[in-house]
Structure 1
């Protein structure tokens, strides 16, 4: 079962639909729901997905507690804001993007990883962000994909099933989003 943390973003339900397409049971929980920890403890959650949302990842303090408690036990996928939240938790800094990318497409280059099974090395994706994560000296983190201007688009934890994706893979202009979700569930779900 997947728990999707909704951050009041209009793209959230498009991401949820991708999980439904691959026949995954999903619980949707608003990030400010007081029962958030109950859901995580009561249900047999295999994947936590922190969805897109507005604002700065530092504003979403509940996630640091959730990630701290569950990252060694449950697979976690962060998309856009979720990517940034995971980045902050694992020691990245947050900076303004070189270019504001609201609804703009960009090519990214992927490295060899199971996440990109049946995905070309270069793909076109859609971004909706003005903030990015900037890598500091961090152990156990591997960059899987960068934009053409060298901004981190996807990273993973080397020891645990944690992946952050900056772009909106659910966007109609993002190619191979469903394939990437399928690969995450197939190869990274605990």
Structure 2
């Protein structure tokens, strides 16, 4: 099961639908109705394979408990995908700057160029995506633990990936109708959850190890 943290966005339902079409069961919770303690309890029950931070209309500074959840996921090595605002939240959690882009991109289609790594494994190096954002991650502010996996045709950062941890962000909307390979991207993230996730079973007691994380 995955956790969808909803940043009060209309696209969350469509994103959830895409995950369902890819065979993933999930639970959707608003960003101010889920805490790190709640996430820890899900981990301790062995019911959590990955986390998705949804798009949203605001900024990383106004996203409920998302920043803390990203940091918890990093400490616990829980696979996490951030979409649009979620992508920016990952960057902000690591101290990167999220700035206003050259122009708003609301419903605009851009070509992106990818490195074929991470979530883009098995996809062409160039394909169209749909963008709904006015803010972007400032590439020069990203710490060295992140690699940029995709750029738009206007040079904006379109995807990031942590070099050691299963943390992924995409600025575009994989669930939008005019984005190609959206299902494939989600399927690649689901595969990451299977390979790198914390698939806890009843034979292992993680509660004591999680206790210190939940206090943070």
TM-score (ref. length: structure 1): 0.94
How big is each residue's C-alpha offset from its partner over 1:43-76, in whole Å with a ceiling of 9 and x where there is no partner? Answer: 2211110000011111125222222222132111
> In the alignment, what sits opposite 1:60?
63
C-alpha contact (below 8 Å) 2:113/2:153 kept by paired residues: yes
Point out 4+ residue stretches in structure 1 off by more than 6 angstroms.
Answer: none
Q: 1:118 to 1:137 in 2, by over 3 A?
A: closer
Structure 1: state its 5+ residue gaps: none
1:15 aligns with 2:15: yes
> In the alignment, what sits opposite 2:125?
121
> In the alignment, what sits opposite 2:41?
42
> In the alignment, what sits opposite 2:25?
25
**How far apart in 1 are the matches of 2:64 and 2:16?**
23
> In the alignment, what sits opposite 1:185?
190
> In the alignment, what sits opposite 1:155?
160
**How far apart in 2 are the matches of 1:137 and 1:18?**
29
C-alpha contact (below 8 Å) 1:145/1:155 kept by paired residues: yes
Which has the larger share of helix?
A: 2
Q: Considering only aligned residues, what root-mean-square deviation do their CA atoms show, in Å?
A: 1.5
TM-score (ref. length: structure 2): 0.83
Which has the larger share of strand?
A: 1
SS in 2 for 1:72: helix
> In the alignment, what sits opposite 2:3?
3
**How far apart in 2 are the matches of 1:187 and 1:70?**
14
C-alpha contact (below 8 Å) 2:32/2:64 kept by paired residues: no
Aligned residues: 189
Shift of 1:138: 1.2
Structure 2: state its 5+ residue gaps: 198-216
